[in-house]
Amino acid sequence: MPDTNVTAEAETYDFVLVGAGSASCLIVSRLSQQLPHHKILVLEAGEHIQNDPNVQTPGLSFSLQSNPTYDWNYITLPEQGLNGRRVKHPRGKLVGGTSAINSHSVVFPNFEWHDRIAEELLTDSGRAEWNSQSMRDCYKRWQVVTSGPEVKDDVGSLDHVKTSYPRALDVLQSRWTKAFEELGHATSTTGFMESSTGAVTITNAIDSTKGERSHAGTAFMEPALKRGNVTLKTGVKVDKISFHESLTAGGKLTAKGVYYTHQGGYHLINARDIILCAGVFESPAILERSGIGSRKVLEAANVPVLYELPGVGENLQDHLNCSLSCETEDDIPTCDEELRNPEMQKASLREYGQSRTGRLAEGPAHSFAFTSLQMLETPSETQELIEMVKHLVEKESNPSLKTQYAIIRKTIESPSEATATTFMIRSQRHRDRDSMPKGTPAFVDGNFVTVVAMLAHPFSRGSSHISSDPSQQPEIKFNYLSHPLDVEVMARHMRLIERLFQKPTFAAISKPNGKRLPRSHPYPISSLEDAKKILPINSATNYHPCGTCAMMREDLGGVVDERLRVYGTKNVKVCDASVLPIVPRGNILTAVYAFAEKVVEIICKEAGPGSRTG
Q: What are the two backbone dihedrals, phi and then psi, of residue 496, each rounded to the nearest 5 degrees?
A: -60, -45
Q: Cβ distance 31 to 56 under 8 Å?
A: no
pLDDT of residue 614: 42
Q: Is residue 613 part of a domain?
A: no
Query: Does residue 127 share a domain with residue 276?
Result: yes
Q: Average the pLDDT over 493-498 and give the result.
A: 97
CA distance 267 to 286: 15
CA distance 576 to 18: 11
Q: Is residue 226 part of a domain?
A: yes
Query: Does residue 507 share a domain with residue 378?
Result: yes
Query: Does residue 465 share a domain with residue 534?
Result: yes
pLDDT of residue 3: 53
Q: Is residue 298 part of a domain?
A: yes
Query: Does residue 257 share a domain with residue 123?
Result: yes
CA distance 231 to 39: 8
Q: Is the predicted pLDDT of residue 201 greater than 90, yes or no?
A: yes
pLDDT of residue 182: 92
Q: Cβ distance 595 to 23 under 8 Å?
A: yes
Query: Does residue 478 share a domain with residue 537?
Result: yes
Q: Is residue 383 part of a domain?
A: yes
297-354 pLDDT tens trace: 999 999 999 999 999 999 999 999 999 999 999 999 999 998 888 999 999 999 999 9
Query: Does residue 454 share a domain with residue 441?
Result: yes
Task: Specify the CATH number for the domain of residue 562.
Answer: 3.50.50.60
CA distance 11 to 136: 38
Q: Is the predicted pLDDT of residue 60 greater than 70, yes or no?
A: yes
Last residue of a domain, one of 541, 560, 583: 541
Q: Cβ distance 463 to 284 under 8 Å?
A: no
Last residue of a domain, one of 503, 518, 541: 541
Q: Average the pLDDT over 64-68 and give the result.
A: 95
The CB density around residue 319, as the number of other CB atoms within 10 Å, is 24
Helix (H, G, I), strand (E, B), or coil: what is residue 418? coil
Q: Average the pLDDT over 235-239 and give the result.
A: 97
Q: Is the predicted pLDDT of residue 22 greater than 60, yes or no?
A: yes
Query: Does residue 354 share a domain with residue 449?
Result: yes
430-481 pLDDT tens trace: 988 888 888 888 889 999 999 999 999 999 999 999 998 877 899 999 999 9
Q: Give the model's confidence band at 386: pLDDT under 50 very low, under 70 low, under 90 confident, else very high.
A: very high
CA distance 487 to 485: 5
The domain in which residue 49 lies consists of: 6-75+87-161+212-314+544-607
Instruction: Strands of 132-202 (E only): list them.
Output: 143-145, 161-163, 198-201
Q: Is residue 81 part of a domain?
A: no
Residue 449 is labelled as binding a ligand: no
Q: Give the model's confidence band at 51: pLDDT under 50 very low, under 70 low, under 90 confident, else very high.
A: very high
Q: Cβ distance 436 to 429 under 8 Å?
A: no
Cα 411 from chain centroid?
20
Q: Is the predicted pLDDT of residue 289 greater than 90, yes or no?
A: yes
Mean pLDDT of the chain: 94
Which residue, among 509, 469, 40, 538, has the nearest Cα to 289 in the 3D structure?
A: 469
Residue 357 is labelled as binding a ligand: no
Task: Specify the CATH number for the domain of residue 511.
Answer: 3.30.560.10
Q: Is residue 80 part of a domain?
A: no
Query: Does residue 33 share a domain with residue 115?
Result: yes
pLDDT of residue 30: 98
Query: Does residue 391 share a domain with residue 285?
Result: no
Q: Is the predicted pLDDT of residue 610 greater than 80, yes or no?
A: no
Query: Does residue 47 share a domain with residue 34?
Result: yes
Q: Is residue 92 part of a domain?
A: yes
Percent of the chain with pLDDT over 90: 87
- Cα-Cα-Cα-Cα torsion 589, 593, 598, 601, nearest 10 degrees, comes to 170
Q: Is residue 206 part of a domain?
A: no
pLDDT of residue 33: 96
pLDDT of residue 391: 97
Query: Does residue 122 share a domain with residue 32?
Result: yes
Count of structural domains, the chain: 2
CA distance 310 to 562: 18
Helix (H, G, I), strand (E, B), or coil: what is residue 276? strand
Last residue of a domain, one of 487, 520, 541: 541
Which residue, among 91, 51, 175, has the nearest Cα to 474 in the 3D structure?
A: 91
Query: Does residue 14 share a domain with residue 70?
Result: yes
CA distance 121 to 127: 9
